[in-house]
Structure 1
C-alpha cells in the first residue's frame, strides 16, 4: 500500500471518528461507560447477567445502559484503529527519507494527546473545556492529515496563479475565523446550549439584556459530580448560543467574500472549483444550522452539521495550502 493510499484511508477513518464522536455526544452517551479505556471494569460492554451485576457492584448507583455503552465503546474501538493507522504512517515516513518527518511526528503526538483527552472527557465527567478540546483535537488531526497528504502528492497549478495568490492573507483570516466558529460550536454543544434559543434570527425575548459573557465563557465552571446536560443557567447558555449565531454570520460573510474573490481572480480550474465547493458547503451548513433550530435539534441534522464543519475546514485548509505554497 502506498503512503498516499494509507493517508486517504486514515483521512476517512478520522472523519468517521468525528462523526461517531458527534453522534455519541448528541445521544448523551459520553458517559455510557463511566470508566476508561474499558466499560464498567470490563474489556467490552457487559451484556450477561453476571457481568451486569459485577458492573453494578463496581459502580453502585449507575444503571448499565447497553445502547449508550456500545455507542461509547464503538467510538473508542474506531479511534483506537485510527491511532494504529497514524502509527503506521509515522513508521512509513520515518523509513522513507523522501517523506516529510516533522509533520508525521506532530500528528503522532496529537493522537496521543487526543487519547488523553478522551480519557479526561470520561474521568472529568464531560467537563465542557475538555469536551471542546477533544472536538478541536479531532478537527486538528483531520487538517494535519490533509496537509501531509497534500505534501506527498504535489499540487500543480499552471503558472502558479499569481492573481489568486494575492488572496492568501484573506484566506488565512478566513481559516482563523472558521476555527473560532468551530470552537464556538463545540462550546455550544458541550454546554448543552444548542436549544437555548428557538427563534430566528438571533433569539426570542429581550435577549440582549440577559447576556452574561463572563459566566458563559469561563473555562472552569466549578466542582460538580457531573457536567452531563450542562451546569450553566439559562442566560449563560443563551449567551453562548447567540455568540455562535453571530459567529456564523461573520464566518459566512468572510468565506463567501473569499469565494467570490477567488472565483473572479483565480486562473486555475482547481482554485475556481474550490471556490464553488466552499460556497456550496457554506449554503448547506447554514441550512443545517437553521434546521437544527426550527426542528429542535434532530439527531441526523445535528450530526450532519458537525460533518459540514469538518468539510468546510478541509476546504479552507486546501485553499490556504494552494495559495501559500511555494510556486
Structure 2
C-alpha cells in the first residue's frame, strides 16, 4: 500500500515539474525574468504590489526597475510553482524515510537538485539574466524532471512486480551505446538551445536551411565563452550580431546531428518488439520538435510555439531517459535489478 501511494505522489511531482518547466519558459519568453528585481519576494513584498501605496513603495525601493504588473505576476507565479515543486520533493524524502523499503537515493539527489535550482533562480535575478546562469537553470529544470521520471519508472516496476518477470535480452550492446549517445547529444543540443535563448539569438537568422548571411566567414567561437564581460543587465543580450549568428548556426547544425542520431535510434528500437512504443514516441517527438523549430524561424518566434519547443525538448530528453532505462533493465540480470529496486 505504501508503494502505491508513493507512486501517486511521484507521478504528481513529475507532472508538477513539467508545469514548472512550461512556466519558466513562458516567463523567459515574455521578458519577465526580471519582472521582480529582487528575490524571493517582489519589490520587497511577498506578492506583486497591488495597491497604489505599494506601487509607490516599490518604485521608491527600486527606482531603476519600473514595475510592470503582468511581468511581475509571470515571475511570481513561476516562483510559487517552483516552491511547490520543492515542497513535493521534500515530501518524497520524508515519506521515503518514514516507510522502510521505499527508494531513498533518488529522492535525496532530487532534493539536492531542487535546492541548487533555487540558488540558480536567485542568481538569475541577482546577476541580471547572465546567460550561463539562465542556461544552467534550464538544464537544471530538465534534469530534475528526468530524475523524477527515473524514480517514477523504478516505483512503477516495483508496484507492478515487473522485476520478477522475464529474462534479460541479449545482443543489445550496440543499442545500449546508441541510446546513451542519443541522450548525450540531445542534452548538448538542449544546452545549445538554452544558450541561444539566453543570448537572444533565436531570430538572428530568418531563412532556411542555415542562415541568410555569410555565417562561415562570420563564425566566432568567442560566442560560446561561458563567462561574459560584466554588464549591469544581460536582458536582450550583450553579444554582437556575428556572435549571435554563430550561436544560432551552431544550434541548427546541432539539431541536424541530433535528428540523425535519434532517427537511427528510433529505427533500431523498432527492431525490438519490446521497445516499439519507445521507438514511436522518440520518432513522434522528434518530428514535432523539428516542426516547431522550423515554425519558430519562419514565423519569428511565436510565443506559444516557442514555449512548445521548450516543452517538447524536455519531453524528448525524458523519453531518452526512459529508453536508456528500458534497455538497461533488459540487459541487467534479475538479481541485480531486485537489489537496485530495494536501494532506490
Equivalent position of 2:32 in the other structure: 29
| Matching of residue 226 in structure 1 with residue 230 in structure 2 | no
Distance 2:156 2:295 in 1: 38
Q: What's the CA shift for 1:166?
A: 4.1
Q: Deviations over 1:221-273 (max 9, x none)?
A: 11101000000000100000000000000000001101101102x132xx111
Aligned to 2:273: 267
Shift in Å, 1:126: 0.2
CA contact (8 A) 1:163 1:267 kept: no
Partner in structure 2 of residue 185 of structure 1: 193
Residues 1:204 and 2:208 are matched in the alignment: no
State how many pairs are aligned.
Answer: 323
> What is the aligned partner in structure 2 of residue 314 from structure 1?
318
The one of 146, 155, 169 aligned to 1:161: 169
Name the CA distance, whole Å, in 1 between partners of 2:44 and 2:109: 32
The structure 2 residue matched to 1:146, chosen from 149, 160, 182, is: 149
Which secondary structure does the structure 1 equivalent of 2:273 belong to?
A: coil
* Runs (5+) with no aligned partner, structure 2: 334-344
Aligned: 1:296 with 2:304:
no
Gap runs ≥5 in structure 1: none
* Match of residue 91, structure 1, among 91, 94, 98: 94
Deviation of 1:103 after TM superposition, in Å, equals 1.3
Q: Given the alignment of the two structures, is residue 245 of structure 1 paired with residue 240 of structure 2, yes or no? A: no
User: What is the rounded CA distance, in whole Å, between the counterparts of 1:202 and 1:158 in structure 2?
Assistant: 48
Deviation of residue 164 (structure 1)?
A: 4.5
Deviates more, 1:88-97 or 1:177-186: 88-97
Q: Distance in 2 between matches of 1:68 and 1:245?
A: 30
The 2-side partners of 1:49 and 1:322 are apart by 57
Q: Report what 1:41 is aligned to.
A: 44
Q: Identify the residue that residue 63 of structure 1 maps to in structure 2.
A: 66
Q: CA deviation at 1:62?
A: 2.3
Distance 1:18 1:113 in 2: 15
Contact 1:32–1:72 (Cα < 8 Å) also in 2 = yes
Q: What value does the CA root-mean-square deviation take over the aligned residues?
A: 1.2
Shift of 1:284: 0.4
